Chain A
C-alpha cells in the first residue's frame, strides 16, 4: 500500500503509529495471520528518515549490530550487503558513505532480518535510478513471499499494483 498526501498530512505519523512508536489515542491495530502474542512492532521493519547508522562503526559492523539485535545470525550480514551492492565497502567506517549509500545500508537491514511488515517512509529519497530499481525488485520479492509493505511516498516507488491511501485535509 502506498500512502500519499501533502506535506504534513500525517503520512509519517501513520507509519510511526503502526510501528508502535506513537501510542494510539483510540482504536487498535491487529495483524491478520501474524503471531498473536507478539506486538506488531516486533513483526515490522521501520525505515524512517534517519538511517540509524553510527559513523564510527564500519559498514558491516553497523549492519551486523542490527541483524543480531533483531535476532538474525551473523551469516545474514554478507548476503544482505551483496543485495545492496555494498560488499566492497564492508570495512569502511560509515562516516565516509554518501547519502544514497547510507540509505542502501539501512535497506540491507530489511533484507537481513525477515519480518512480514515493511514500513517505509519515503524509501526512494537519496537513491539513484539503478538503486531505486533494485529497491523495487526487493519490494516485489518481499510481496511475493507473502510480506506486506506500507510506504509513504510523493512519487512512484516502483510498485504498480499497490493500493493507494490518500491522506488530506478534506
Chain B
C-alpha cells in the first residue's frame, strides 16, 4: 500500500471512530433543514421556492463545521511534522486529507439531501438534480476550506478566523450551486451554464487549494 492510500484510510478511520467529526456535519445539516419549515410557516409554495437555497446554505455551513480540526489535531500531536518529512509531497498529503475529509463529511451531505428535500417540498423529480449540484459543489467547499484550515492551524480556537477567511471565497460556489438547482427545479433558465461554472469552480479549487494550503503550512509551522 502506498503513502497516498494509507493516509486516506487513516484519516477516514479517524473521522469515523470515537471523537471523529464524520457525522457532525450531517447532523447539523439535518437540524438546520428540519427547523427551517417551523420558522417559515406552512406555506408549501414558499418552501418549494426557497428549498434549494436552504439546502445549499445548510450544506455550506455544515461542511465548514469540522474543517478547523483538519490540521489542528495533526499539529497538536506532532503528526504534521512527520507528514512533512515523508516522500509524498506536502501538496499531495494535504490533498489526500481533503479527499478523506470530503468522503466522511461532504458525501453524507449529498446522500441525505434528497431525503431532507422532502421536508422543504422539493419535487421528487428534482431531488436528483439537487443532489447532483451538491455533488459537484461540495468538493469545492472542502478544498477552499482547506486553505483556511492550513492558515489557522497554529492558532488556538482558529475556527472563527477560519469562517471569516473561507466564507467570502465560497460565495461563488453558493451562487452558482443555487442557480443550477433552481434552474433544474423551477426553470426557465437552462441548467447547463451555472452547473458547468460550478464544476469549473470545483476543478479550480482542486488545483489551487492544496498548493496554497501546503504553502501556508510550511510558513505557519516555522
List A residues at the B interface (Cβ < 8 Å): 16, 19-23, 38, 41-42, 44, 46, 48-57, 61, 64-66, 68-71, 74
Contact = CB atoms under 8 A, between A and B. Distances in A.
A68 B3 contact: yes
B189 interface: no
Contacts of B88: 69
Contacts, number: 78
B85 A52 contact: no
B6 A41 contact: no
B1 to A, nearest CB: 5
Nearest to B75: A50
B78 A57 contact: no
B78 A69 contact: no
- For B7, B10, B82, the residue with the greatest tally of chain A CB atoms inside 10 Å of its CB is B82
Given A42-B87, A65-B6, A69-B6, A52 B17 contact: no
B14 interface: yes
B222 interface: yes
Contacts of A48: 78, 81
B84 interface: yes
Given A46-B85, A61-B13, A69-B86, A56 B6 contact: no
A30 B86 CA distance: 18
B79 interface: yes
B87 to A, nearest CB: 5
